[in-house]
């Protein structure tokens, strides 16, 4: 038990530092890294070299691809601001509806889930949150809504990488796992757009007059996602669901009567009297369209392109202890590089010179150094805690204490993984084997508990320092991470409780 309590110290410090002491994320995480390193070395008996190489592995993993994709996503957004394309995008969105609740659903729910399905690594928070602020939303509310929405599509993010990783670790049947992964969180997925509307609108009153539209937005994503997960696999659920949902929302905004309260009306953009034609719209959306095309054609959905491009990679082992992990650096076929390519080509189409784009890229990098420090620190902490056995000690005590009631708490282990790593993939790596072995020990459904693990990983991402840092960086709230944490924490508790009840009672009722 003492190891359990000591292993929790870095996590408890992050919670206290960011929520009570109001430390900025980078400072809280750097101190947490020092705590984890000292505990790993002095109490869990890692050698100084092992501790240092574990931290280095985390830092390298953070720099490529996570920090790279953050830089790329923010650069693309900032470039659309620099060229004025965001004003055109705002006007186009405004032509769909002048109701801020509807625009939020199209951008954060539809486009955000699309970005999670295609790229992941924070793009589903950074880009939609930045767009929402560009349209005129409050930055804190925009980031909060995006974090809540992004909690459920994690398992099928990055063209299904977390789900594929879990299957690879556990040996589970792919379609069995993806089916359970979609079904176990269907309630949370269904609720997310309703909660996002309430967040943006300042309470449940914001749903007045919008329930039919929100229902369309929710079901048009949930149903295709589940069908794709049941019959196709891990790669398409988010992508198919989000594309269908965006199409349905645009049609509903056109033909479904919605009475908009004045407080939810979006003020007109500058240059509202300008005439928009197809070419102007395509130029404005060019970086995003190109991102979609490049991610799609280089994904596993197009194997004859994915194979050669994914082969441009380097692998190495950094950790100096037993059972080291292997880092793989994809030098071309990685979301950050593809988004950068799309941004530069899109900026050229929009008339930006190379020098102008270089200046925007430099400014984006310099403005987000603290964010990169936060992300690197978090991944270094995760690697130290994983290699030292601290994560295992936390999970082992939870298993011993809960016994046959473990499924009630199974998602909580995923929440811890998501909080520490900010990654559904890393959560699968850390706890997938534990969930499977525990299921076998207590006679539970292993695929179901592994699905609960990934559901918890998505929930934990809401309060992960790196997720919050990404959102804050996208909307210019660097140093105000504690405000976001305090707002999303209640949703983490709500989702964790609902997820635990579903995980426990569905098998009891014989539904899986």
Sign of CA dihedral 135, 136, 140, 142: negative
Q: So what's the pLDDT on residue 65?
A: 81
Question: How does residue 97 score in pLDDT terms, banded at 50, 70 and 90?
Answer: confident
Which pair of structure tokens corresponds to residue 127?
A: 């880009």
Q: Check the CA dihedral 461-464-470-471 and report its sign.
A: positive
> What phi and psi, each to the nearest 5 degrees, are found at residue 325?
-80, 165
Query: Where residue 92 falls among pLDDT bands split at 50, 70, 90?
Result: confident
**Residue 33: pLDDT above 90?**
yes
Looking at residue 269, what is its pLDDT? 54
Would the pLDDT of 19 be above 80?
Answer: no
Per-residue pLDDT for 444 more than 60?
yes
In a domain, 272, yes or no: no
What percentage of the chain reaches a pLDDT higher than 70?
A: 98
**Is 138 domain-assigned?**
yes
Q: Is residue 27 part of a domain?
A: yes
pLDDT at 455 over 70: yes
pLDDT(325) > 90? no
Question: How many domains does the chain contain in total?
Answer: 1
Question: What's the pLDDT at 77?
Answer: 83
Contact 376, 58 (CB under 8 A): yes
Please say if the pLDDT value at position 84 is more than 80.
yes
For residue 261, pLDDT beyond 80: no
pLDDT of residue 148: 97
In a domain, 322, yes or no: yes
Sign of CA dihedral 446, 448, 452, 458: positive
pLDDT the model gives residue 273: 53
Q: 372-392: per-residue pLDDT in tens?
A: 898 899 889 989 998 999 988
Question: Does 340 reside within a domain?
Answer: yes
pLDDT confidence of residue 160: 87
Do 4 and 397 form a contact (C-beta atoms < 8 A)?
yes
Q: By residue range, what is the domain housing residue 389?
A: 2-266+279-508
SS3 of 216-260: HHHHHHHHHHHHHHHHCCCCCHHHHHHHHHHHHHHHHHHHCCCCC
> Span 23-43, mean pLDDT?
93
pLDDT tens-place string over residues 394-436:
888 888 899 889 999 999 999 998 988 888 888 888 889 889 9
Among 57-71, 183-197, 231-245, 465-479, top mean pLDDT goes to 183-197
Average pLDDT, the chain: 90
Assign 476 a pLDDT band (cuts: 50, 70, 90).
Answer: confident
Give the per-residue pLDDT at 267: 67
pLDDT band of 17, cuts 50, 70, 90: confident
Contacts 24+ apart (CB under 8 A), 439-445: 442/403, 442/404, 442/406, 444/406, 444/407, 444/507, 445/180, 445/507, 445/512
**Model pLDDT for residues 264-316, shown as the tens digit of each residue:** 887 665 545 556 788 999 999 899 889 878 888 888 778 999 999 999 999 99
Regarding predicted confidence, which is higher, 470 or 93? Answer: 470
Q: Is 271 within a domain?
A: no
> Which H/E stretch holds residue 198?
helix 186-201
Confirm whether 273 is domain-assigned.
Answer: no
């Amino acid at each position: 038990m003492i190891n359990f309590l000591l292993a929790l110290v870095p996590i408890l410090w992050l919670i206290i530092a960011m929520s009570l002491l109001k430390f900025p994320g980078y400072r809280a995480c750097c101190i947490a890294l020092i705590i984890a390193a000292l505990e790993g070395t002095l109490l869990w008996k890692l050698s100084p070299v092992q501790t240092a190489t574990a931290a280095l592995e985390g830092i390298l993993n953070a720099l490529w691809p996570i920090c790279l994709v953050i830089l790329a996503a923010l650069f693309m957004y900032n470039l659309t601001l620099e060229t004025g394309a965001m004003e055109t995008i705002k006007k186009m969105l405004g032509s769909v509806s002048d109701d801020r609740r509807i625009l939020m659903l199209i951008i954060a729910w539809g486009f955000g889930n699309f970005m999670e399905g295609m790229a992941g690594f924070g793009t589903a928070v950074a880009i939609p949150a930045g767009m929402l602020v560009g349209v005129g939303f409050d930055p804190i509310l925009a980031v909060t809504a995006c974090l809540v929405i992004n909690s459920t599509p994690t398992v099928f993010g990055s063209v299904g990488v977390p789900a594929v990783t879990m299957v690879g670790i556990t040996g589970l049947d792919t379609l069995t796992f993806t089916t359970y992964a979609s079904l176990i969180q269907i309630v949370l997925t269904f609720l997310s757009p309703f909660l996002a509307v309430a967040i943006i609108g300042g309470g449940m009153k914001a749903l007045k007059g919008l329930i039919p539209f929100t229902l369309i937005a929710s079901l048009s994503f949930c149903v295709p996602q589940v069908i794709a997960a049941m019959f196709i696999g891990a790669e398409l659920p988010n992508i198919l669901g989000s594309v269908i949902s965006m199409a349905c929302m645009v049609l509903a905004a056109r033909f479904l009567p919605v009475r908009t309260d004045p407080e939810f009306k979006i003020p007109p953009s500058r240059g509202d009297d300008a005439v928009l034609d197809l070419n102007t719209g395509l130029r404005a959306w060019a970086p995003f369209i190109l991102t979609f095309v490049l991610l799609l054609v280089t994904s596993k959905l197009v194997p004859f392109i994915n194979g050669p491009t994914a082969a441009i990679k380097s692998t190495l082992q950094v950790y100096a202890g037993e059972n080291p992990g292997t880092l793989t650096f994809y030098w071309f076929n990685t979301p950050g590089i593809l988004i950068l390519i799309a941004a530069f080509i899109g900026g050229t189409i929009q008339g930006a010179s190379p020098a102008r784009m270089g200046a925007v890229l430099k400014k984006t990098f310099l403005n987000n150094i603290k964010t990169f420090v936060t992300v690197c620190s978090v991944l270094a902490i995760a690697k130290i805690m994983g290699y030292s056995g601290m994560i295992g000690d936390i999970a082992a005590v939870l298993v011993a204490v809960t016994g046959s009631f473990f499924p009630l708490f199974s998602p909580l282990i995923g929440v811890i993984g998501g909080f520490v790593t900010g990654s559904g993939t890393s959560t699968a790596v850390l706890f997938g084997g534990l969930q499977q072995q525990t299921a076998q020990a207590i006679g539970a459904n292993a695929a179901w508990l592994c699905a609960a693990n990934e559901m918890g990983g998505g929930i934990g991402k809401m309060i992960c320092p790196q997720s919050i840092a990404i959102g804050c960086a996208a909307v210019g709230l660097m140093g105000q991470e504690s405000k976001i944490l305090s707002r999303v924490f209640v949703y983490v508790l709500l989702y964790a409780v609902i997820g635990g009840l579903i995980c426990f009672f569905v098998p009891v009722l014989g539904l899986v």
